[in-house]
């Protein structure tokens, strides 16, 4: 269920993005109509919505939402929490990818193995892993 609710959260965000683009188009049309009554000068919807790229972005966000719902499912206590995780999936997964222990595990030791200090830790102290 967390996967489905996470995907739903991603879908909700994409619907809001689409609404923002349509609202911007509507505002531009109203401005154009207030200046001139000529219909040939009205902005076209295609200037604000690009179906191929928008569909790919929506598919990606829904997939990230589903993935975040799956990754965080042990910590989620309800459907609304899973929707919230799915809606914030790009930021959550970006933060998860920035965790030093995860980076070290992926890199096979990373900066600690090469003796380089970490720029995010004051004084160049090494990050302790649990």
pLDDT tens for the chain, 130 residues long, are 999 999 999 999 999 999 999 999 999 999 988 887 777 788 999 999 999 999 999 999 999 999 999 999 999 999 999 999 999 998 888 887 777 776 677 777 555 544 455 455 444 444 444 4
Say which DSSP state 121 is in: S
pLDDT of 113: 46
Condensed to tens digits (0 to 9), the pLDDT of residues 77-99 reads 999 999 999 999 988 888 877 77
pTM for the structure as a whole? 0.68
From residue 12, alpha-carbon distances to 6, 17, 69, 86, 100 in Å are 10, 9, 14, 9, 31
């Amino acid at each position: 269920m967390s996967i489905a609710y996470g995907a739903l959260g991603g879908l909700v965000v994409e619907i809001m993005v689409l609404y923002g683009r349509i609202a911007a188009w509507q505002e531009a049309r109203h401005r154009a109509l207030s200046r001139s009554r000529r219909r040939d000068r009205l902005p076209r919807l295609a200037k604000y919505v690009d179906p191929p790229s928008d569909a790919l972005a929506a598919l990606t966000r829904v997939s990230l939402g589903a993935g975040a719902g799956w990754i965080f499912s042990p910590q989620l206590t309800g459907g609304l929490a899973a929707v919230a995780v799915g809606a914030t999936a790009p930021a959550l997964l970006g933060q998860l990818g920035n965790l030093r222990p995860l980076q070290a595990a992926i890199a096979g030791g990373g900066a600690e193995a090469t003796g380089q200090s970490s720029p995010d830790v004051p004084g160049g102290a090494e990050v302790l892993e649990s």
